[in-house]
């Protein structure tokens, strides 16, 4: 891990420590409403931003609404095996996968297949006045969904690789999570190389 990544991880850990303790206490006391309120207040905006970056603004709005309902039902099952922040990303990704499967089935009934927008097209943000941001978003949209998730979770959100493994590969044991973290680190290097090559090709 680079010194820059290490400093970013330390800063992230300090920032999330306080709400994590509050959420854990609320869950222990059986106060689901307070736990969800603290969770959404602390991490809702960043999770919504991740959904927009990976799935596009239209789907993200639907997904976030579904996620809010799911949290009320699921918060009692939070056991503290990961941070509440990581757990929220897990719930969000599970909800996204189910929602998008349902959405694809509905679209298959309603529109011809050739009219379906691709995942990359759905992930395109609205036109931005900032050409650099628009360029970065355009390049990211060319990545497949899991690679976009990895890029945003690590680079934009600063999650540790083992936490990202929990989000992208739920159900892993400790050894499996460590192996997956190593794979994800290598995968991110490949993603960065691919983005650089696209920048060179398009220059």
Residue 37 binned pLDDT confidence (cut-offs 50, 70, 90)? very high
Handedness of CA 143, 47, 98, 55 (dihedral sign): negative
Dist CA 46 CA 19 (whole Å) = 14
Per-residue pLDDT reduced to its tens digit, 129-153: 467 778 888 888 899 999 999 999 9
Q: Domain ranges for the chain, please list them.
A: 3-202
Mean pLDDT value across residues 97-121: 59
Per-residue pLDDT reduced to its tens digit, 6-29: 555 555 555 556 699 999 999 999
This prediction has a pTM of 0.74
The residue with greater pLDDT, 169 or 104, is 169
């Amino acid at each position: 891990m680079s010194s820059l990544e290490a400093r970013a991880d330390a800063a992230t850990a300090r920032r999330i420590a306080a709400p994590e303790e509050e959420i854990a206490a609320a869950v222990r006391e059986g106060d689901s409403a307070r736990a969800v309120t603290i969770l959404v207040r602390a991490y809702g905006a960043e999770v919504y931003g991740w959904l927009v970056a990976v799935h596009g603004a239209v789907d993200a709005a639907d997904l976030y609404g579904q996620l809010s309902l799911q949290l009320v039902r699921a918060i009692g099952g939070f056991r503290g095996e990961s941070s509440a922040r990581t757990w929220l990303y897990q719930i969000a990704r599970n909800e996204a996968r189910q929602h998008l499967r349902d959405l694809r089935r509905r679209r298959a009934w309603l529109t011809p297949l050739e009219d379906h927008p691709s995942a990359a097209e759905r992930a395109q943000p609205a036109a931005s006045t900032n050409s650099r941001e628009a360029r970065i978003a355009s390049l990211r949209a060319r990545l497949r969904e899991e690679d976009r998730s990895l890029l945003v979770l690590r680079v934009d959100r600063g999650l540790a690789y083992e936490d990202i493994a929990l989000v992208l590969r739920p159900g892993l044991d400790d050894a499996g999570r460590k192996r997956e973290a190593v794979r994800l680190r290598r995968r991110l290097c490949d993603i960065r190389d691919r983005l650089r090559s696209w920048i060179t090709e398009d220059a």
